[in-house]
Amino acid sequence: MADTRNIEIEVLRYRPEQEEAPVLQSYTVPFTDDMSVLQGLQYIKDYLDGTLSFRWSCRMAICGSCGMMIDGVPKLSCKTFLREFYPGKVRVEALAHFPIERDLVIDANDFIGKLESIKPYIIPKEPRTLEQGEYLQTPAQLEQFLQFSGCINCMLCYAACPQYGLDSKFTGPGILALLHRYNADSRDGARDERMELVHTEEGVWSCTAVGYCSEVCPKGVDPANAVNQNKTASAMDYFLRFVMPKGGAK
């Protein structure tokens, strides 16, 4: 049998019906080397304190729902192991820069609203019937957006983004990366519409180029790179409107 050791998990609790502000609560949890932080929280809920609230679903770093601040760093709790912190303790808190609903559960309405605003789906350049077949794409065209299609909406990049922490009106790294994913897709025809958001003060020009968003991304999406590419596209659109006033960059 695997060796079992004990580790202290310090959880930032917030129960609005009984607390005015979040408070820390510690639990001693037995663990083995293959146990994740998420499994540690599940042990607490199952055996020590059934009132603990947190989000999770797949446990495979795919759904993006178990994002938390783990020792001050935005991480997926299913992909972070308790052994990394032993023999010390580990502190778990709700994602930074978001309102806390309860314990480790944040209010994601602002993120969802921003996600909907970019129309995160392909809008064809022109109608196509079933008889005409599928939309074809070359490997080179796929490569233009493939990296940015890996986003799982975990919001870790928002917890890492100092600009979003200062001003929640900023569209933010993850959404701008997804926006770029669709704008760079050869099958999509809604670039000009999405660029209206990119050009705004809350768009790419609010980014201060810290780059921490890309460091914490669990899927290697590199949202900072997407933001920089959008800055270039926005600048080109601005200058090209003087040369091509009726259409701008295509």
Write out pLDDT tens, residues 111-169.
999 999 999 999 998 888 889 988 899 999 999 999 999 999 999 999 999 999 999 99
The average pLDDT across 59-80 equals: 97
- What pLDDT band is residue 246 in, cutting at 50, 70 and 90? low
Residues of the chain with CATH 3.10.20.30: 5-106
Per the prediction, the chain carries an average pLDDT of 93
Give the pLDDT confidence score for residue 236 in this predicted structure.
Answer: 87
Give the pLDDT confidence score for residue 128 in this predicted structure.
Answer: 85
Residues in the chain: 250
Lowest mean pLDDT segment, chosen from 67-71, 201-205, 236-240, 241-245:
241-245
Instruction: Supply angle C-alpha 14, 17, 21, rounded to 5.
Output: 40
- What pLDDT band is residue 241 in, cutting at 50, 70 and 90? confident
Give the pLDDT confidence score for residue 44 in this predicted structure.
Answer: 98
Q: What is the CATH number of domain 109-243?
A: 1.10.1060.10
CA separation for the pair 179, 38 (Å, rounded): 30
Q: Is the pLDDT confidence value at 243 over 70?
A: yes
Residues of the chain with CATH 1.10.1060.10: 109-243
- Whether domain 5-106 has CATH 3.10.20.30: the reply is yes
The residue assigned the tokens 């768009």 is 203
Residues 13, 22: contact at Cβ < 8 Å?
yes
Q: Is the pLDDT confidence value at 250 over 50?
A: no
Would the CA dihedral through 136, 138, 144, 145 be positive or negative? Answer: positive
The residues, ordered by sequence, that sit 6+ positions from 20 with a Cβ below 8 Å of its Cβ are none
Antiparallel, parallel or unpaired: β 90-93 and 5-13: parallel
Lowest mean pLDDT segment, chosen from 128-137, 165-174, 178-187, 210-219:
128-137
Question: What percentage of the chain's residues is helix, strand, coil (to nearest 5)?
Answer: 40, 15, 45
User: How far from 227 is each of 129, 173, 205, 208, 219, CA to CA, in Å?
Assistant: 35, 7, 9, 10, 16
